Each structure stands twice: as structure tokens, then as C-alpha cells.
Chain A
Amino acid sequence: LAKTTQPISMDSYEGQEVNITCSHNNIATNDYITWYQQFPSQGPRFIIQGYKTKVTNEVASLFIPADRKSSTLSLPRVSLSDTAVYYCLVDDYKLSFGAGTTVTVRA
């Protein structure tokens, strides 16, 4: 299973853009890059998934460089409710969760 590295924590303020970069140097050809959000005592919630270049949906953007060895999740204009743990995963079949990034949004 490909291993990912992401910052343990990030602090931000309401209305700011939050960018979380994840390193996955050993990503395999078949691997997708998927980001999940988890609130305490809840299951992870899918945010966005991509294979290469840029993907955007209604909640986030995902930037993937050509070598695919890293990816950046961008959360535009965060609010207090975006305080959560964000996980970056790169696997073709089974998902292996790392420590995640705890994002704290302050007023």
C-alpha cells in the first residue's frame, strides 16, 4: 500500500483558503488520489478524487502535478464547520489511512 505524508495540523481563519499538501512518492500507476474528511465520532466523508492534473467540485479542488508524487487539496473560504481531520489516500483497492491533517478553523 502506498504511503502518504501530510502535515499533522493546520490552523486557519474563517474565509481563508486552506491548502493541504500530501506526499506520495511511491504512488503506483493504477492508484487514484482520494481525500476524505472526518468529524469526531463519524465515518469519513468523501471530498474529492483525482488521477492527474486538476479536479474541482463544489467543495474543493485537487491539484496533482505531472509526476503524481504529491497532491494538494484546496478548500476555498473555510468556515468553522470545516474544522475536521482530512485524510489523503492513494490506493487502487484498499485504503490505508495515515494520521491525517487536523484542520482547525478559528473565527
Chain B
Amino acid sequence: KNEVEQSPQNLTAQEGEFITINCSYSVGISALHWLQQHPGGGIVSLFMLSSGKKKHGRLIATINIQEKHSSLHITASHPRDSAVYICAVRTGNQFYFGTGTSLTVIP
């Protein structure tokens, strides 16, 4: 059983659509990270959350500690948002990673 589960695994959306990617975890955590990996392979850290909600441009990340669940939302999606989005959690000295959600935004 994976400590971190993401859904969906793959997602195709039309440009402009509102997108939600989900992450559920089974361990007590001190922080949750959302990462973005572009088709070229580069990885960018989008958010680090320990509670509540964070917003950066068109991206919003929320976390519910009691439900052990986080969501990443993209408003007004654009083809340049096409990437793999990875959820990662830290518990103690350990880090666990989801397998990623592959997002394709079609013009």
C-alpha cells in the first residue's frame, strides 16, 4: 500500500477549464509538497503546506489535516500547465511521494 495516493493518474482538459488534482495520504505529516514536472523533465516546487490554503497566481492548494487530503486546483487552465503534478509528504525524517498526475491541457 502506498502512503500517498493521487487521483486521477491522467487528466485531459480543454483550455480554460477548472482542474482539480487530489492527494490522499495515510501517515501523520508535518508538511505536504506539490511539485510540477515539465515535459522536459525539470521539477519545480509549487507549494509547501502544513495547514489551510495557499494561492499563487492561478494555482490554489488546500489541505485538510483531519481528512488527510490535499487538493491542487488550477483555474483557467492553459496548455503550458501541461505537466506531471506530484504530491509529496514529510513525516519525521521520511518523505513519501505519489506517482503523479499527468495533465494535458488542449488548446
- Are A and B genuine complex partners? no
B→A interface (CB under 8 Å): none
